[in-house]
Amino acid sequence: MTEQPHPFGVDFGGSGIKGAPVDPRTGEFSADRQRIETPQPATPQAVADVVARLVGRPEVSSEAPVGVTVPGIVRHGVVHLAANIDQSWLGVDADALFTERLGRPVTVVNDADAAGYAEARLGAAAGKQGLVVVTTLGTGIGSALIHDGVLVPNSELGHLEIDGHDAETRAANGVREREGLSWEEWARRLTRYYGVVEMLLSPDLFVVGGGVSKHAAKFLPLIEVKTPLIPATLRNTAGIVGAALLAQGDENRE
């Protein structure tokens, strides 16, 4: 029986577009990750050209499924909100765009969903049943919901209104840095944030990602909620890994 080619994951960000083939059993890259600067302006066609260069590497099988993250809401492959990327993406059928450009099936997914799914499948929450809420604390707050291993897409929990504020404008790591908050001060804001999410969803586990997760010991123990909180483990590889897994048909997403 011939082994299936490893799926290829692409993480499309504001400054760089990164891609690598992923071993779906371990989440490890089966070839070096390559990064290309994000074109300016980052129009759909320009980004598709970069993705084609990444996937066109000789070590990538022509039969490998491809997954691409997009920093916007994605429903059935169509980009419906593009707040942090070029506005020309709004309403674009990204699945069709990339599939046509690459000449193979492509799965497009929200970037936070891809990272969260990777953590649930092969990272910090691997094997965990029930509802897992993965949050990324960065410039804003990204989120992903995974229930019994199935991704529930486009949760956008960073935009919950809490005490009259968009949650991420009070509790994101970017706010901590900008306002010079101590870990204790920030943890009080995070307690309020995670407390509301806990009340609304009654999750079994919170996974906390983003670059600041490497400092988890300084703030996670200070967050006062009943639900267990653990740091993410895949960190900056999670988007690529999640996109690859979803491209492989690793689960039945919407």
The H or E element spanning position 142 is: strand 141-147
**Cβ pair 228, 205 in contact under 8 A:** yes
Class level of CATH domain 128-233? alpha beta
Omega prior to 41 cis, within 30 of 0: yes
Class level of CATH domain 8-114+237-247? alpha beta
Q: Do domains 8-114+237-247 and 128-233 have the same CATH topology?
A: yes
Per-domain residue ranges of the chain? 8-114+237-247, 128-233
**119 burial via Cβ count (<10 Å: 0-12, 13-18, 19+):** buried
Q: How far apart are the first and last CA of the chain?
A: 30
pLDDT per residue as tens, the chain (254 positions): 457 899 999 999 888 999 999 999 999 999 999 999 999 999 999 999 999 999 999 989 999 999 999 988 999 999 997 667 889 999 999 999 999 999 998 999 999 999 999 999 999 999 999 999 999 999 899 999 999 999 999 999 999 999 999 999 999 999 999 999 999 999 999 999 999 999 999 999 999 998 899 999 999 999 999 999 999 999 889 999 999 999 998 543 33
